[in-house]
């Protein structure tokens, strides 16, 4: 029987494993973590609205009903194309006949990797917990600080990047300060905290229609977020940033400005684009390596117009569903799959309390209705009934009470 190895248990990798598991084809799924993470809600962990366990599910639990799917906890550090093996950091070699790479993306600091120490990004649970701890620690330090200038610095939080992640983070941080922390602290006025959203381009949310992006900007400003456009960051240090020659004291910087494909693509020894993505054929096989497949943020897949597909969960999920069934047909019946075709289910971003935007292409909505769509869809997409129920109840409670969730400062932000 053909040996199939999948690297990465994100939206794409999980769907490939399910498709092959349904066909009772032996599969080995490798991931660095023992859980699948629902990344679209990670910003809510970072801003104390949800706990990590609310948006993560054990991989083995998700795949327990597929007897032919095995799970290996480990990190792939090498791929031997000749011997067709992958090497794990812990030493073992795992052989394959077909290899699926679905390892997602990481942060890109545009050549300034030294900024990472002072400006954490948001891709993992560890990132979210670190950001949450630093936000809360800044307010704790401001509470006992006697110097008003230092207090102002500590209560200034800069979010760099005006895409969906940056918009959602800035709005959520502003709500945390205004509605929750303002009730918890007595010496400082947490609701006067400065939340900066810095975007190097001419407007926020470049992937959305301009009318929706303008609406988002207005809503953010009503929440108290200071939006600065054409504001390229020139330097990030421990307690300050420099924007257009201006030095700004900050208590925390959060990076939401750029992503790059994971480094696994480079293990293939083939050219990648500037974001580290590998080019694939219409069936998602890597060009020149027809026994290797790539999907999600790692793969350069284009739409009918030739434009690259965005790094969205729905893209990776559809690619995974397609590839799982396509490989099953190929292995079982020798059939060649039809080319992959992406069906856009709409693009969305939440701005704050009962305010969101939704772009379906043929239909665009904003405000409370868009927020309801966003909430219903995200609850539905969560893995496991218990997560859906818990998150729905928590959102309802916090909507009514303006309370936040796990406001915990963990040692070292971990």
Residues in a beta bridge with 302 = 308
The structure tokens listed for 330 are 């190929």
Contacts of residue 398, Cβ cutoff 8 Å, sequence gap at least 6:
49, 404, 405
List residues with catalytic annotation.
168
Count the alpha carbons within 13 Å of 413 in the hemisphere toward its beta carbon: 20
Q: How many CB atoms lie within 10 A of CB 167?
A: 32
Contact 115, 256 (CB under 8 A): no
Q: Are strands 85-88 and 93-95 parallel, antiparallel or unpaired?
A: antiparallel
Count the alpha carbons within 13 Å of 177 in the hemisphere toward its beta carbon: 26
Distance CA(410)–CA(181), nearest Å, equals 17
Q: How far is CA 369 from CA 170, 357, 365, 402, in A?
A: 21, 9, 7, 20
Angle at 249 between CA 245 and CA 250, to 5 degrees: 120
Residue 271: is it exposed, middle or buried by C-beta count within 10 angstroms (0-12/13-18/19+)? exposed
The structure tokens listed for 159 are 């979010």
């Amino acid at each position: 029987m053909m040996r199939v190895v999948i690297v990465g248990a994100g939206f794409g990798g999980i769907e490939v494993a399910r498709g092959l598991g349904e066909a009772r084809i032996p599969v080995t799924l490798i991931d660095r973590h023992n859980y699948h993470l629902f990344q679209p809600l990670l910003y809510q962990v970072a801003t104390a609205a949800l706990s990590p366990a609310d948006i993560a599910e054990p991989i083995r639990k998700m795949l327990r009903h597929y007897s032919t799917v095995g799970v290996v906890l480990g990190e792939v550090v090498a791929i031997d194309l000749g011997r067709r093996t992958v090497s794990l950091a812990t030493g073992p070699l795992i052989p394959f006949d077909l290899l699926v790479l679905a390892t997602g993306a990481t942060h890109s600091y545009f050549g300034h990797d030294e900024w990472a120490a002072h400006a954490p990004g948001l891709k993992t649970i560890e990132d979210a917990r670190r950001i949450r701890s630093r936000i809360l620690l800044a307010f704790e330090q401001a509470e006992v600080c006697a110097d008003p200038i230092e207090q102002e610095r500590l209560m200034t939080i800069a979010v760099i990047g005006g895409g969906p992640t940056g918009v959602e983070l800035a709005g959520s941080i502003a709500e945390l300060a205004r509605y929750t922390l303002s009730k918890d602290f007595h010496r400082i006025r947490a609701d006067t905290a400065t939340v900066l959203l810095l975007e190097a381009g001419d407007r926020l949310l470049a992937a959305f229609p301009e009318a929706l992006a303008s609406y988002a900007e207005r809503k953010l400003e009503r929440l108290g977020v200071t939006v600065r456009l054409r504001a390229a960051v020139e330097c990030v240090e421990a307690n300050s940033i420099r924007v257009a020659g201006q030095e700004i004291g900050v208590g925390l910087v959060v990076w939401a400005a750029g992503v790059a494909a994971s480094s696994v693509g480079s293990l293939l020894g083939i050219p990648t684009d500037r974001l580290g993505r590998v080019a694939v054929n219409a069936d998602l096989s890597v060009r020149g390596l027809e026994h290797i497949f790539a999907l999600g943020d790692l793969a350069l897949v284009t739409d009918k117009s030739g434009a690259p597909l965005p790094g969205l969960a729905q893209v990776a999920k559809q690619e995974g569903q397609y590839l799982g069934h396509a490989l099953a047909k190929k292995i079982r019946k020798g059939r060649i799959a039809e080319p992959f075709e992406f069906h856009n289910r709409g693009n969305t971003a939440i701005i704050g309390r009962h305010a969101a935007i939704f772009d379906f292409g043929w239909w665009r909505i904003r405000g409370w209705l868009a927020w309801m769509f966003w909430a219903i869809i995200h609850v539905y997409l969560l893995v496991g009934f218990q997560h859906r129920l818990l998150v729905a109840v928590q959102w309802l409670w916090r909507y009514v009470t303006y309370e936040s969730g796990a406001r915990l400062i963990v040692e070292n932000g971990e």
